[in-house]
Structure 1
C-alpha cells in the first residue's frame, strides 16, 4: 500500500467519523512522531501517526475508564500499520497514564518484515495537561504477531505525542 493511499484512507475515515458524530461529541486526536523499532539498528526508522478516540464511546468499568481507539502510522520506509482497539485512561491529576491494546494490519513496504499482516500493538503513554483541550506526552509500544506468523521479530517504538480534543 502506498503512502498516498494510506493518507487518503485515513483522511476519509477521520472525516467520516467527524461528520457522523453528534454535535456535542468530543473527539480526541493524538498526533505522534517517533522512532519505529529503535532497538534494531538496521531497521530503525522515523514514524508519523494519528489516533482517534470518540469520548462519547468511553465507558467506566471495574477496570476504570475504557475507550475505543482507531489509528495508524507510517514509517520513513513506507511501512504502515492501521489499528483499532481500546485504551484505559488513568487520571492522575495533570498527568494521565494510558495503557492500550490494538490489533491491526501491518504493511511492510520497504521496512521491516514483522512476519504477518496481523499484528498486535501494546502501548503505554504518559501525558501532561497543557490546557483543558491539549496534552503533550510520551509513549512506548511493542508491535508483534504473537507468533502466528512464520517469524515474530517484533518492533519496539517510542513516540512524542500531541493530544488535542475537538
Structure 2
C-alpha cells in the first residue's frame, strides 16, 4: 500500500510540477494486454509538450510526450470489488514515461492525423499485477486522430510495451486505447 501511495504521489508531482504552458493532455481509456489473458482496463494520460519541440533534419518537428498509465485487471469483472478493505488494487500496475511523437497530417485541413510515438519509462506492478520482467520498459505507439470539432479530437491508438529483452523475461503487452479530448492550451 505504501508503494501505491508513493507511485500516485510521484504521478501527481510529475503532472503538475513541470512548466505546463502550451501542453495538451490526452486522456485515454482502453484494453491493456488484449492478446493475453489479462483483460485489464488501461487508463492513460498522454501529455504533449509544445514548448520543447525538437527539430531534427529528415525527421521533422518531434513533440516531447509524457505518459502516466494505470492498468486495472478486471478478469473477474468489478463484482468482486470490496472498497472497504482495498482489495481492488490486488491486480494493479502503472507506467510513467517520456518520449517523442511525430504527427503526420493526412488531409490538407489537418483534421485527420497519424501519430507514431516512442517512449521509455518505468513500470511497476503491485501485488498480483502483471510482471513485465524489468522496471524499464519501452513503448512504441501509433495513433489515428480526427479533429471532429473546432476544439476537440477523437482517436484510437495501438501500443506495445516491452523491455526489449533486457530483463529476466519479456512478456510485453499490446494495448488499444480510445481518446476523446478537448484541445486546451494552458
Class of the TM-score when normalised by the shorter of the 2 chains: 0.7 to 0.9
Once residues 132 and 15 of structure 1 are traced to their aligned partners in structure 2, the CA distance between those partners, rounded to angstroms, is 26
Per the alignment, residue 14 of structure 1 pairs with: 15
Question: For 1:86-141, what per-residue CA distance to the aligned partner results, in whole angstroms no more than 9, with x for missing partners?
Answer: 11111222111110110111101122111111110000000000234321100000
Residue 118 of structure 2 corresponds to: 101
**Partner secondary structure for residue 152 of structure 1:** coil
Q: Give, in whole Å, the separation in 1 of the partners of 2:150 and 2:6.
A: 34
> What TM-score do the two structures reach when normalised by structure 1?
0.88
Counterpart of 1:133?
151
User: What is the rounded CA distance, in whole Å, between the counterparts of 1:132 and 1:66 in structure 2?
Assistant: 23
Aligned equivalent of 1:84? 98
Unaligned 5+ runs, structure 2? 73-90
Q: How many residues align?
A: 159
Superposition map of 1:45-124 within 5 A: 45-61=40-56, 62-76=58-72, 77-92=91-106, 93-109=110-126, 110-124=128-142
Match of 2:28 among 27, 32, 37: 32
Query: How big is the alpha-carbon RMSD for the aligned residues of Structure 1 and Structure 2?
Result: 1.6
8 A Cα contact 2:101 2:116, kept in partner: yes
- 1:15 CA drift (Å): 1.9
Unaligned segments of structure 1, at least 5 residues: none
Task: Confirm or deny: 8 A CA contact 1:89 1:97 kept in the other structure.
Answer: yes
Residues 119 and 144 of structure 1 are in contact (CA less than 8 Å); yes or no, is this contact kept in structure 2? yes
Checking the alignment, whether the CA contact within 8 Å between 1:64 and 1:90 is kept in structure 2 is no
For each residue in 1:52-88, what CA deviation from the matched residue of structure 2 results, as whole angstroms up to 9, or x when unmatched?
Answer: 1111212343213211111111111211011001111
Show structure 1 runs of 4+ deviating over 4 A.
Answer: none
Contact 2:143 2:158 in 1 (8 A): yes
SS in 2 for 1:56: strand
Shift of 1:5: 3.6
